[in-house]
Amino acid sequence: MTSPLRAVVTGGAGFLGSHLCERLLDLGYEVLCLDNLLTGNEQNIAHLAGIPRFHFLKQDVTERMDVDGPVDAVLHFASPASPIDYLGMPIETLNAGSIGTHKALALAKDKKARFLLASTSEVYGDPLVNPQPETYWGNVNPIGPRSVYDEAKRFAEAITMAYRRYYEVDTRIVRIFNTYGPRMRPNDGRVVSNFIVQALRADSLTIYGEGTQTRSFCYVSDLISGIVALLQAAPGDAMAMPFNMGNPEERTVRDLASRVLALTGSSSAIEARDLPVDDPQLRCPDITRAMNILGWRPEVDIDQGLRLTIAYFRKQAA
């Protein structure tokens, strides 16, 4: 019997990381989940603890990354990723994207492993092109409050490309657009979790600004399918460029609020709040590259995804 492929997932106890660990285990991988539990939560991986191919190590990726034995893939998902998190933990965020990415790449190089970076649509900043293709270089304020995340991820992409060019590490970059689903934290501060939690508590839904800003929301299982397709794609030049992944259906924040109210049956009011500094006005992925090269596209529609997420939050609140 051949031994299973071994994957290291940094940030594996987080929202996306835990879904990724779960999927890799389903696919037969041995998974080493590293997380310092700054924004991750052991509850997210509690159901995986009994699986012999799953190992959890409480470890800060900016400090050390000792992994014994062979490694086939390193997937770097460790970072605060929600605006309230990265605004509250600016230095940790900069370090996770810079030092953390460097250490994760060094591990991949040492082990001759494939490397996959979780990047973000934030690299496009407040975009002047809509939808955003991977060829768009973005419109980022380098000194604004969001820059701790945006610039850290831009650095992370740059150092990933440097390891690809100079050390010939087999790298892949996924630019993740707004994703939602079970295991988002109720106090994550993101629009989907905020609206659902507020609706279930009959609190007012807090709309920042006019609510005319747009986002496109991808259900987590769709995103994970795309990431796995990217991880498993054959090496080659097509893998050098980043891949946008998200749901290309663009909608306003106000539209999302109406859907959450309808699907929860809540009679919550709407409350206007100030728009955060540098809040992107538009965001929508052009996923042509992922569709053409990986044959991937999201399948879960917004109401279906919201229903599953609402059910999760209802259960949490019970």
Shortest distance (Å) from residue 269 CB to ligand UDP:
14
Shortest distance (Å) from residue 157 CB to ligand UDP:
17
Q: Which of 11, 12, 17, 83 binds ligand UDP (CB under 6 A)?
A: 83
Q: Which of 136, 279, 293, 307 binds ligand UDP (CB under 6 A)?
A: 279
Q: Which of 111, 114, 190, 289 binds ligand UDP (CB under 6 A)?
A: 190
The reply to whether 208 sits near ligand UDP by the rule CB under 6 A is yes
| Closest listed residue to residue 75, CA positions, set 167, 3, 172 | 172
Asked whether the CA dihedral 35, 169, 294, 80 is positive or negative, the reply is: positive
DSSP conformational letter for 290: I
The reply to whether 191 sits near ligand UDP by the rule CB under 6 A is yes
Pairing of strands 171-176, 243-245: parallel
Residues 205-235: b if buried by 16+ CB within 10 A, e if exposed: bebeeebebbbbbbbbbbbbbbbbbbbebee
| Residue 84, φ and ψ in degrees, nearest 5 | -65, -30
Give the interface segment with ligand UDP, choosing from 2-10, 126-134, 205-213, 310-318 (CB under 6 A). Answer: 205-213
Q: Which of 90, 144, 186, 276 binds ligand UDP (CB under 6 A)?
A: 276
Shortest distance (Å) from residue 220 CB to ligand UDP:
14
| Closest listed residue to residue 38, CA positions, set 63, 3, 2, 55 | 63
Q: Which of 124, 149, 163, 180 is catalytic?
A: 149
Q: Which of 41, 130, 141, 206 binds ligand UDP (CB under 6 A)?
A: 206
Angle at 229 between CA 223 and CA 235, to 5 degrees: 140
Catalytic residue flag (residue 312): no
Cβ nearer to ligand UDP, comparing 45 with 284: 284
Tokens of 265: 């049956």
Write out the catalytic residue numbers.
149
Give the binding site for ligand UDP (CB under 6 A).
Answer: 83, 178, 189-191, 194, 206-208, 211, 213, 215, 253, 275-276, 279
